[in-house]
Amino acid sequence: MGSLSHVISPKLILPHLNSRRSYGLSKSNSRTLISTRAAKKVRVFAEIKNQSSSSKKEINFSDPDWKTKFQKEFEERFNIPHITDIFEDDVSIPSTFCLKMRTPITEAFAAGYPSDEEWHGYINNNDRVLLKTIYYSSPRSAGAECIDPNCTWVEQWVHRAGPREKIYFKPEEVKAAIVTCGGLCPGLNDVIRHIVITLEIYGVKKIVGIPFGYRGFSDKELTEMPLSRKVVQNIHLSGGSLLGVSRGGPSISDIVDSLEERGINMLFVLGGNGTHAGANGIHNECRKRRLKVVVVGVPKTIDNDILLMDKTFGFDTAVEEAQRAINSAYIEAHSAYHGIGVVKLMGRSSGFIAMHASLASGQIDICLIPEVPFNLHGPHGVLTHLKYLIETKGSAVICVAEGAGQNFVQKTNATDASGNAVLGDIGVHIQQEIKKYFKGIDVHADVKYIDPTYMIRACRANASDGILCTVLGQNAVHGAFAGYSGITVGICNTHYVYLPIPEVISYPRLVDRNSRMWHRCLTSTGQPDFL
Ligand SMILES: Nc1ncnc2c1ncn2[C@@H]1O[C@H](COP(=O)(O)OP(=O)(O)O)[C@@H](O)[C@H]1O
Ligand SMILES: O=P(O)(O)OC[C@H]1O[C@](O)(COP(=O)(O)O)[C@@H](O)[C@@H]1O
Ligand SMILES: [Mg+2]
C-alpha cells in the first residue's frame, strides 16, 4: 500500500494542494501554497481558489473562526455533484442492488428492500472518510502537512463510496457505456469486468463498450461493443483493454452529441489526468444541455501520479514487473567485465515506479527521478560515481524514470495526440554518455540498456491490483446509480471514496524528495547527491 507520507509535502501548505507542476488542464483548479516566510508572520494568509469560481479567498489565521471557515470551504470543494443539483424534482427509487442477494431485487422486493431489517449494508449519503489521518504536533514533524503555522488539527472529510439505499435510475432505462483512454495499464480489463458485472446485478441490460477511447465516439467506422457478463467473464486473464485505447479524439461537444444520439445516460471513463479532464468536460456539457447523464471516472495511471489516493490500479503490478527488468540488468551487469546496466522505467512527472522498483529490488546503485535534479558530469556527477562503483564493485545498475534529467536531452516542443509533451529519451542519453565517458578515461565498460515500458504496461494485473480494480469498478457503478456525476473513485487511507474530478487532476502527485521513502531508496542504493 502506498503511503501518503512520501507524497511531496512542504511544511506549510494547503494539504495536498501543491501547485508545483501543473498539468496545465484547468487553471481555475490550481491552489496556492502558503510560503514558509509568510507563515512566520502573525497574520498569515492562504489563498484558496474555489473550483467553481476563480475568486480568491483568504484565510486569516488571527480570526478565531478560521478553522470552521476552512472546513466549510473544504466541504464545498469536495462536495460531489449530483443530478438533483440540476433536476431538483428527480425522485429516487429503492435500490435494486442488495447485499443479501446476487440478483436484482426488482421481483423479490417490488416495494424495495425491507427497511425494518437492522442490517442492510448500504452507505449513508452522510458517511465520510477522513482524508488526512496524522495529527502533526509540530510543523517540523516528518512529512507534516500543515494549514496554519501551529499545525492545528483540521478534520478534512470526503464522501464515502458504496451502494446507496436509494437510486436515481431505473435499471431498465439505463444505457451504460464504458470507455478506456490514454496508455495501457494493468487492470483495465478487471475494471471493465466489474463495472459490467455490477451493472447487471443492478438489473441493467443495455451495456456497451466504446472502442478505442474517446475516438470511438466520433469515428463512424468504429461500432460500440455490446457487453455482458458472458463477454467479460475472462477478460481479466489478459492484459490490455478489451475495448482498446487511444490518445486524442473528438471535442467534448462532439462526444456529448454522440452520447445523445446513442441514448447513453451512464458513462464510465477509465483513464488518467487527460481522460478525467475530458470526463469533467463531458459532465459539465451534459449539465449545460440539461441531460440526465452521469459521468463517473476510474483513475488509471500506471505512474501513480493522481492526487489524494493511496495508489492507483496497475502501479503494484508495474513495480513487480519492473523488478524483472532490473534483475535482468543486474545479472547482465554482474556477469560482464565492468558491466553497467541502465533500466528506464515509466514516470513522466513522478518517479514512484522507479523509486519503488529500486527499493523493492535492492539491486539498484543509482536511482534517478524527475523530482530530484542531478549532474551527469563533474566531480559530484553520476558518471564519477559510476567510475567509483566499477572500481570498487566491478559492476553497477542504474534505474532512471523517463521524466528524469530532461534538461540533458533535446527539447522538441512536440506533443502527442492528447497534447502531452513528448519527452527526450533520457535512458538512451545516459547510455551514450556512459559509453563516451568510459572511453574518454580509457576504462573498459560494457553497457546494456533495457526499456521495459511496453512489456510492463501490457501485463495483466497482479492479485492485489485485481482486487483494487474490482472494488473501484463496483464503486463506480454504485456512484452512478446514486446519481453522482463528475466524480472519480479512489482509495484514501484504505477506504474507498468519491472525489470531485477537478480536485484530483490539477497537477501530478510527486515524490517528496524530503520524504523518508526517498531517503530509504537512497540508503538502499547508497548513492550520493549528484549535485
Ligand atoms: N484537457 C483535456 N480536456 C479534454 N480532454 C482531454 C484533455 N486532455 C486529454 N484529453 C483527452 O483524454 C484522452 C486521454 O488523454 P491522455 O493524456 O492521452 O491520457 P491519460 O488520460 O492517461 O492522461 C485523450 O483522448 C485526450 O484527447
Ligand atoms: O507511447 P505512448 O502510448 O504514448 O505512452 C507512453 C506513456 O505512457 C505512460 O506509460 C502512461 O501514460 P498515460 O498515463 O498518459 O496513459 C507514460 O508513462 C508514458 O510516457
Ligand atoms: Mg496523462
Q: What is the pTM of this model?
A: 0.89
Residue 391: CB partners within 8 Å, gap ≥ 6?
none
Q: Is 272 in the pocket of ligand 2 (CB under 6 A)?
A: yes
- Residues labelled catalytic: 303
What is the average pLDDT across 369-385? 98
| Sign of the dihedral through C-alpha 413, 419, 421, 427 | negative
Q: Is 247 in the pocket of ligand 1 (CB under 6 A)?
A: yes
Q: Which residues are annotated as part of the binding site? A: 183, 247-248, 272-275, 301-303, 346-348, 402, 454-457
**Ligand sitting nearest the alpha carbon of 248:** 1
pLDDT recorded at residue 206: 98
H or E element: which one contains 38? helix 36-40
pLDDT recorded at residue 4: 34
pLDDT bin (cut points 50, 70, 90) of residue 37 is very low
At position 166, the amino acid (one-letter code) is K
With a cut of 80, say whether residue 112 has pLDDT above it.
no
Q: Note the pLDDT tens digit of each residue in 225-263.
A: 999 999 999 999 999 999 999 999 999 999 999 999 999
How far is it, in rounded angstroms, from Cα 398 to Cα 361?
Answer: 12
pLDDT recorded at residue 110: 54
Q: Which atom of ligand 2 is nearest to the CA of 347?
A: 18
With a cut of 60, say whether residue 113 has pLDDT above it.
no
Ligand 2 centroid to residue 506 C-alpha, Å:
18
What angle in degrees, to the nearest 10, is found between the helix axes of 463-481 and 315-335? 160
Ligand 2 pocket check: which of 302, 350, 406, 459 to mutate, most ligand atoms within 8 Å of Cβ? 302
pLDDT bin (cut points 50, 70, 90) of residue 32 is very low
**Ligand sitting nearest the alpha carbon of 276:** 1
pLDDT bin (cut points 50, 70, 90) of residue 100 is confident
User: Could you tell me what percent of the chain has a pLDDT over 90?
Assistant: 83
Ligand 2 centroid to residue 102 C-alpha, Å:
38
**Ligand sitting nearest the alpha carbon of 283:** 1
Ligand 1 centroid to residue 357 C-alpha, Å:
27
Ligand 1 pocket check: which of 212, 273, 275 to mutate, most ligand atoms within 8 Å of Cβ? 275
Q: Note the pLDDT tens digit of each residue in 156-165.
A: 999 999 999 9
